[in-house]
Structure 1
Amino acid sequence: MSRVGDNGWTVPAGAKFTDAQYSAFQAGSLYVNVHSAANKDGEIRGQLKP
């Protein structure tokens, strides 16, 4: 991922899900968990919906 501003990130063009990630995405169970130095176990989590 690349930072595109104070509150934005982008995924590289051509990035692809693995078969397992795509199945999780289709099932509504794929998520992003952002970690930081202050919150090593995860600072924020967001569901990715189809």
Structure 2
Amino acid sequence: MAALNASVEKAKASRREGTGPTEVHKLPKPKKKTAAKKQQAKKTTGRRPRSA
């Protein structure tokens, strides 16, 4: 268990956890994208069965 605690402490030190207040940056608002116009699929005429 001591090895695990030592490993955790080493990992926290490498990430500089708990060394003071962290900086929080606000993300810029994303620009609105224009909606892509959907092209309507062409209607295909259905095949008619042959009449015998």
TM range (shorter): under 0.3
Structure 1 or 2, whichever has the larger Rg, is: 2
Q: TM-score, normalised by structure 2?
A: 0.25
Instruction: Please identify which structure carries the higher strand content.
Output: 1
Higher RCO structure, 1 or 2 (CA under 8 Å, sep 6+): 1
